[in-house]
Structure 1
């Protein structure tokens, strides 16, 4: 299975919230490449249906084309909930701890800053007492599904599960990966049993996969980070480079410097197959029109975890959001939904990497071919 995975130099990254659709996964895997379904915040029953539909869709596309080639691999990416994240000290997770009390106070203060937004949007915000830091996002059920459904590849974001999780998946024949942002995270992931590592650089769109949500995001450039992580984990762990890769020249450079493959998300956001929302598409079109005037920045304003998106008014107005995922994600859900209904690009999350202005509105298969052009033709 690892050989099959690494025969694909470009992978379609998991993008939670809609972009990593069934259709996108089916299209990419029908091209022989690896694609992900984003399991974070996705009900387990829907995730099972999505996986079956994507697999069937890839098979149907190949049959319709009269192709006998084997489809690529469909992976599933899971968010590691706080109760299962071994990178968070136990004392910080205790319900009656000082850390939890301080977190609730910070959430209450942040909620106050959102009341005017809520009034203008005509929505009600949840009370702080209704926000659940221990929401498991169907964690156990999703692991059960991975085993029962024989999913070939599971990767983890937002933290590091216990070694027993990796042992269980390995026994079921599933390969495992962890998204890492530092050499220390990489070493811990390998110790716990990860088969591969997604090395996420600072230019990546969407959430940074800091294992400790209280940590500050690193700024080491992706290619330097690849070298640092290769040094500490040795030569045998495949490294998948992610973050800011938008063209075939960047793909070739990452592979030359030791990546086994690269993972691209922003490059696929404007494809018709992606489940990108209309409001997000509008912002992406505007970014393409403005080109170098488009700015992305890191924010915790929408979810309570650092994430990179197209900078807008909401991000600028709420720079002091505390580190409190998933509570802030729960808190801002009504505001984001209202902004989507109004096509208000200044008030909703618009996750994208620094290369967002270069994302093109064309079929996913064409984007994939563009990303591998240098590797095939050597003409860029």
Structure 2
């Protein structure tokens, strides 16, 4: 674990990887230059563009002292050791039930498609075994000797950790329970991102069919610390994630034993972020109390599987409330709703598009990334 400690050092702020646009290489570089750890989000990113992002980030950080940034990979279901074999087997009863649940969900979305003037993908392209360029991304990480690589959406085989360790990478895993943390260390994780239920975006529950835990971040952090031990061979850097929006929040998790806070929502309005104009407007309205906010001014967020087939937290809108029957079927549901999300974004329809954000969204601020890092640093 000493390699992990020397790489991440004493940086208190990690910019959470946010797939789908917000995590640009410009944001990753700016956070790192400001003394944090920037991240690139590899999920749903073609490998050639990801390699370009890594090169651009490295170029922007040339000459920067302690220039640490990471790349986060989605673990596809066929590579996720937390999914039982019978659920992964083509043609199994579990797979047939899954396909039928996706078919029913697609039927329930036809009215949305007509309203937005789009066609929904047919069953023939909804592949539960889609790999998101997994092998190519692992090969790119090896060839490029990426210094820091983390996994979310599941737990790869120990052999994957062995491969990337041999290439010199420090490896992290996002966990949502003490049991997941122990298994991640058993497979070879060097860093654990402890994700509480307050976090925005997708929950990294390793078994995608499991119900996400509700243990608050501070309690979860204590449970993970107790499970993995401290001052022992299993001692490991812990990054705490979920609802952290200011220096007091960062200081709180550091005092509780985390080595850093991983913040995502706090960076959504950064000048360097690739957050869509529609989501920026929704977040600005939330911060001003004029939209997606409770009467007390706090952000109105909720968990949903409606957009992707995996549980995720976002600003609570009509689509989430009306489509509560989405099955646990990523990436099929994500592919299915893609045209709907694109059309809703183009139409400026914030009630129909995913607006991922954590419970602290009302405290989001528009500023350069360096200023946000300073605001977060105790």
| TM-score between both structures, scaled by the size of structure 2 | 0.95
Residue-by-residue CA offset, 1:238-293 (whole Å, 9 max, x unaligned): 11101110011111110011001110000000111100011111111111111525
2:298–2:360 contact (8 Å) kept in structure 1: no
Deviation track 1:45-94 (CA, whole Å, cap 9, x = no partner) reads 000000110121233xx6xxxxxx51431100000001100000111101
Distance 1:25 1:181 in 2: 24
Partner Cα separation in structure 2 for residue 137 and residue 120 of structure 1: 30
Q: Residue 92 of structure 1 aligns with which residue?
A: 87
Instruction: Give 3-state SS (helix, strand or coil) of 1:185's partner.
Output: helix
Aligned equivalent of 1:43: 46
Structure 1 contact 10–33 (Cα < 8 Å) conserved = yes
Are the aligned partners of 1:5 and 1:72 in contact in 2 as well (CA < 8 Å)? Answer: no
- Which residue number corresponds to residue 26 of structure 1? 29
Tell me what 2:310 maps to: 305
3-state SS of 2:61 partner: helix
Q: Please say which of residues 281-290 and 291-300 is displaced more in the overlay.
A: 291-300
- Tell me the equivalent position of 1:253: 252
Counterpart contact for 2:28–2:69, Cα < 8 Å: yes
Deviation at residue 234 of structure 1 after TM alignment: 1.1
Please say if residues 299 and 308 of structure 1, whose CA atoms lie closer than 8 Å, have aligned partners that are also in contact: yes
Runs of 4+ in structure 1 deviating by more than 2 angstroms, as ranges, are none
2:109 partner SS: helix
Question: Within 1, Cα distance between the matches of 2:172 and 2:338?
Answer: 29
1:166 aligned onto 2:161: yes
User: Paired residues, what number?
Assistant: 365
Tell me if structure 2 keeps the 8 A contact 1:202–1:220.
Answer: yes
Matched with 1:66 is: none
Q: What residue in structure 2 maps to residue 12 of structure 1?
A: 15
CA offsets, 1:198-244, max 9 Å, x none?
00000000000010000001000101101101111111111110111
- How far apart, CA to CA, are the structure 2 residues paired with 1:32 and 1:370? 12
Which structure 2 residue ranges, 5 or more long, are not aligned?
none
State the partner residue of 2:299: 294
Q: Which residue of the partner structure matches residue 334 of structure 1?
A: 339
Whether the 8 Å CA contact 1:28–1:72 is kept in 2: the answer is no
Q: Deviations along 1:179-214, whole A, 9 cap, x unmatched?
A: 000111111100001011000000000000010000
2:280 paired residue number: 281
User: For the residues of structure 2 that align with 1:271 and 1:367, how far apart are their CA atoms?
Assistant: 7
CA deviation vs aligned residue, 1:129-158 (integer Å, no higher than 9, x gap): 320000000000000000101100110000
Structure-2 change in CA distance of 1:293 and 1:257 (3 Å): closer
For 2:311 and 2:375, the matched residues in 1 are separated by 30
Unaligned runs of 5+ in 1: 63-68, 376-380
Q: Is 1:228 the counterpart of 2:223 in the alignment?
A: yes
Partner of 2:262: 263
**Residues 59-208 of structure 1 correspond to what in structure 2 (within 5 A)?**
59=62, 69-208=64-203
Contact 1:35 1:72 in 2 (8 A): no
Q: For the Cα contact (< 8 Å) 2:75–2:134, is it kept in 1? A: yes
Distance 1:156 1:193 in 2: 12
TM-score (normalizing by structure 1): 0.94
* 8 Å Cα contact 1:12-1:268 kept in structure 2: yes
- Aligned-residue CA RMSD in angstroms? 1.0
User: Which residue is 1:345 aligned to?
Assistant: 350
- Equivalent pair of 2:10/2:259 in contact (CA under 8 Å): no
